[in-house]
């Protein structure tokens, strides 16, 4: 986990614009994290927030995101997780974002 202390305004504006275009409400923490993802190509995004994951996919950044379930499995952490943390739900949100991208960008 990283504390984000500086983000370029243009990247925040881009994420806000994309969220409005996709008609998604993104909280400020998720918005900042997605803007940070644009600036730092080595970062990976992990969230269980539906709107944030749909937006990640809408912005064609889904290859830089991962589900909480996958992170835990990869770390050999075995915990009971909520359905919203599952790989299945993650893939559903990514699919939803891709569909929105097709409808709104083409």
Question: How high is the pLDDT of residue 56?
Answer: 96
**Binning pLDDT at 50, 70 and 90, where does residue 10 land?**
very high
How does pLDDT run across 30-63, given as a tens digit for each residue? 999 999 999 888 889 988 899 999 999 999 999 9
How does pLDDT run across 62-98, given as a tens digit for each residue? 999 998 888 877 666 666 666 667 888 999 999 999 9
- Residue 26, pLDDT above cutoff 70: yes
Residue the block writes with tokens 């994309």 = 18
Q: Give residue limits of the domains in the chain.
A: 9-105
Q: At what angle do helices 9-22 and 28-39 cross, to 10 degrees?
A: 120
- Residue 3, pLDDT above cutoff 90: no
Neighbours of 93 (CB within 10 A): 24
Question: How high is the pLDDT of residue 87?
Answer: 85
């Amino acid at each position: 986990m990283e504390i984000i202390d500086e983000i370029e305004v243009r990247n925040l504006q881009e994420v806000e614009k994309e969220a409005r275009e996709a008609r998604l409400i993104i909280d400020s923490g998720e918005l900042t994290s997605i803007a940070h993802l644009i600036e730092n190509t080595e970062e990976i995004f992990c969230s269980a927030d539906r709107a944030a994951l749909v937006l990640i996919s809408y912005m064609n950044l889904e290859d830089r995101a991962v589900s909480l379930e996958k992170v835990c499995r990869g770390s050999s952490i075995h915990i009971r997780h909520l359905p919203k943390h599952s790989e299945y739900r993650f893939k559903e949100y990514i699919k939803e974002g891709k569909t929105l991208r097709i409808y709104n960008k083409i």
